[in-house]
Amino acid sequence: MSSNKVSKQKPCHHCKRRSASALPDTSTIHYEKFWLYRHCSSVQQRDRQAQKAGQLFSGLLAMNVVFLGSAFISSMIFNHVAITLADVWILLSILKVLCLCWIIYYLLGTSRQPHAVLYRDSHAGPIWIRGSVLLFGSFSILLNVFQIGYSAILIQCKSRVEIVFPSIEILFICTQALFLWHHSKDCIQVQHNITRCGLMLTIATNLLLWLLAVTNDTIHMEIESQLRHLPLNCCLPSSSHAPGNETASCTCPNTTICKVFQKGYILLYPFNTEYCLVCCSVLYVMWKNVGRRISHHHVPHIKPKFKLQGVVFGPLLGTAAVIIGICVFMMYQIQATGSAPNRQVFVMYYSYYIVLLPLMSVGAVIGTIIHALEKKELDTLKNPTRSLDVVLLMGAALGQIGMSYFSIVAIVATDPRDLLNSLILSHSVLLIFQNITQNVFIIDGLHRQPFAAATEARHTGHTEEQAVASELPGEEETTISSNQEHTQMSPGKEEEMKEEQNQEAYDQRRVNMLELGQEIRKVSLSYIQSYSHLSWKRRALREISFFLVLCNIILWIMPTFGAHPVFENGLEKSFYGYSTWFAIVNFGLPLGVFYRMHSVGGLLEVYITA
């Protein structure tokens, strides 16, 4: 009894330790059984820890570079005596030279090592993103050429840094565009830390170039004061008169080449900021893909392609919106570029937006409701590109939303009952609502699984069979009749030969016309039957997506190529002041242009998956 009682007592803490240290043989076998798993998991754990440490270190490097550059730029704005624009340009030139050295090292060294690029991210660097890098990069190069030419004409009153800085900028843009075009999909597997630091240094440099373009209004104000024939001292801030900012004493001679440089600089100014933002997004995806190993289930086996099928009303309405928008844009450019812009052109411009934005908002809301009614699975696979797309859509929308709220405050505080002010107020409110609804529609569509390609192939094959079966009768009869006529006609005189040749040519033309009509009918039947095979939900999603694509294209074209009523109407500029509103517009306008361009890519993805 006593022994049983003793055995039922709980062992003490020391006994537990001794029993754990003296395990039986079965426990030892159990440990040896899972040793390989524990060893592999420890290696993976160290790999993940090294990856996180490399990302942390490179992120800290970029943060310090951005803070240093921001301190220089802020000192130039608020304490223009100690830090001048030339000092900021020298700092940015040093950073660009370092980035150039790393990019060349990556192109010639890292990417050519064995097993360097074993995987490529199919979602990263789509063609429209790389095309926008080349497009905005070309315009940025042209902008720097105009700046070099403008500074060369006024070389007697400008420093040589104003010629050297754009020259380095051109070299930096060319090298970076080449690098992103060929290597934006790389998942580099060697030299992780160097690659991460190089990418983050390049991102930080692009962010500082964007920040400088947003805040530095010296040349812009100088050119505008000369084009408007205003006194230079009344427009330029006090920072322009500081040592190193010699633009205050410069006056462009009354020559055609100088006017071309001035107009070109103002027109191409937003492209530089847009180029910096696009490059930052592509470089960030590359940074996330460093060391990434893509498994087979991440690689799409059937990649859906863009086909213009199942849409009728979307292209028609979108094309009408594009044509009307181009007409409004041309009238605005003709009338608003003079010394005294006409008030009616602003009324026309904002009226176009007030009509178009509600249509886009209604379409996005209907598309979101259809997504909610669908029983389509969500795509839950890890995708850094899609995550970045969502972040960029939400972040880029802040530009237009922020400018709209600034306009609302300025108009409500002044005179909201005026016609132009009421139009601007309505435009700002509708723009906020349209950005929000479109973001919800795109983000919801990006997380949906694409429809099965087999269903599409089956419908396409069925359509082709029906189209072939529905060919017009008469082709064989026409050919047989022509052959019979040919055999019946016997060779004779020359006139009879000519008549026979004319008859054969006529019959051949008739056969060709019949074949052309049959081909047109085949295509039409194929299109109509493919349209009818789609469910009403898929049809509506495609119509809405295509309509929104065309609307976003025209809303991208208008501000990109010079239509800036938020700065030219003078209402917000007089309320907030020139320099403050200049910084707000140069912060929000490039983000708005980037948002429209990025929305086109997202809407095309929604269209393809629908």
Structure tokens at 165: 């800085």
Residue with tokens 């309509």: 547
Q: pLDDT band at 200, cuts 50/70/90? A: very high
From its phi and psi, is residue 229 left (phi > 0), alpha (psi between -120 and 50) or beta? left
Q: What percent of the chain has pLDDT over 70?
A: 67
Asked whether 206 and 279 are in contact (CB, 8 A), the reply is: yes
Asked whether 236 and 221 are in contact (CB, 8 A), the reply is: yes
Q: What distance in Å separates the CA atoms of residue 407 and residue 413, rounded to the nearest whole number?
A: 10
Asked whether 94 and 165 are in contact (CB, 8 A), the reply is: no
Residues 6+ apart with CB under 8 A from 250: 154, 157, 158, 222
- Our measurement of the distance from residue 278's CA atom to the centroid of its chain's CA atoms, rounded to an integer in Å, reads 6
pLDDT at 279 over 70: yes
Q: Where are the beta strands (DSSP E) in 145-243?
A: 186-188
Higher pLDDT, 151 or 521: 151
Partners of 186 in beta bridges:
120
Instruction: Give the CA angle between residues 220, 222, 227 to the nearest 5°.
Output: 95
Q: What is the mean pLDDT of the chain?
A: 75
Structure tokens at 431: 């723009």
DSSP SS3 for 119: strand
Nearest Cα to Cα of residue 334 among 144, 563, 70: 563
Count other Cβ atoms within 10 Å, centred on residue 106: 21
pLDDT at 128: 76
Q: What distance in Å separates the CA atoms of residue 70 and residue 64, rounded to the nearest whole number?
A: 10
Residues 6+ apart with CB under 8 A from 148: 163, 166, 167
Lowest mean pLDDT among 308-312, 460-464, 526-530: 460-464
How long is the chain? Answer: 610
Q: What is the mean pLDDT of residues 172-188?
A: 90
Write the pLDDT tens digit of every residue in 441-461. Answer: 888 887 776 654 434 444 444
Partners of 119 in beta bridges:
187
Q: For the whole prediction, is pTM greater than 0.85? A: no
CA 560 to each of CA 60, 61, 136, 580, 596: distance values in angstroms, whole numbers, following the listed order: 34, 33, 10, 21, 10
Residue with tokens 């001048």: 84
Residues 6+ apart with CB under 8 A from 466: 525, 529
Structure tokens at 22: 């003296």
CA 385 to each of CA 20, 92, 182, 577: distance values in angstroms, whole numbers, following the listed order: 49, 29, 17, 40
Q: What is the mean pLDDT of residues 590-599?
A: 84
Q: What distance in Å separates the CA atoms of residue 450 and residue 609, rounded to the nearest whole number?
A: 4
pLDDT at 246: 45
Write the pLDDT tens digit of every residue in 113-133. Answer: 888 777 777 777 778 788 888
pLDDT at 230 over 70: no
Write phi, then psi, for 178 (nearest 5 degrees): -65, -40
Q: What distance in Å separates the CA atoms of residue 192 and residue 379, rounded to the nearest whole number?
A: 29
pLDDT at 286: 87
CA 301 to each of CA 200, 452, 513, 526, 604: distance values in angstroms, whole numbers, following the listed order: 32, 11, 42, 26, 20
DSSP SS3 for 377: coil
Torsion of CA 582, 584, 587, 591, to 10 degrees: -120
pLDDT at 84: 84
Q: pLDDT band at 8, cuts 50/70/90? A: very low
Q: pLDDT band at 208, cuts 50/70/90? A: very high
DSSP assignment string, 288-325: HTTT----GGGS-SS-------S-SHHHHHHHHHHHHH
Q: What residue type is assigned to position 279 of the chain?
A: C
Residues 6+ apart with CB under 8 A from 391: none
Q: What distance in Å separates the CA atoms of residue 214 and residue 143, rounded to the nearest whole number?
A: 15
DSSP SS3 for 109: coil
pLDDT at 35: 47
Most confident of 465-474, 493-502, 517-526: 493-502
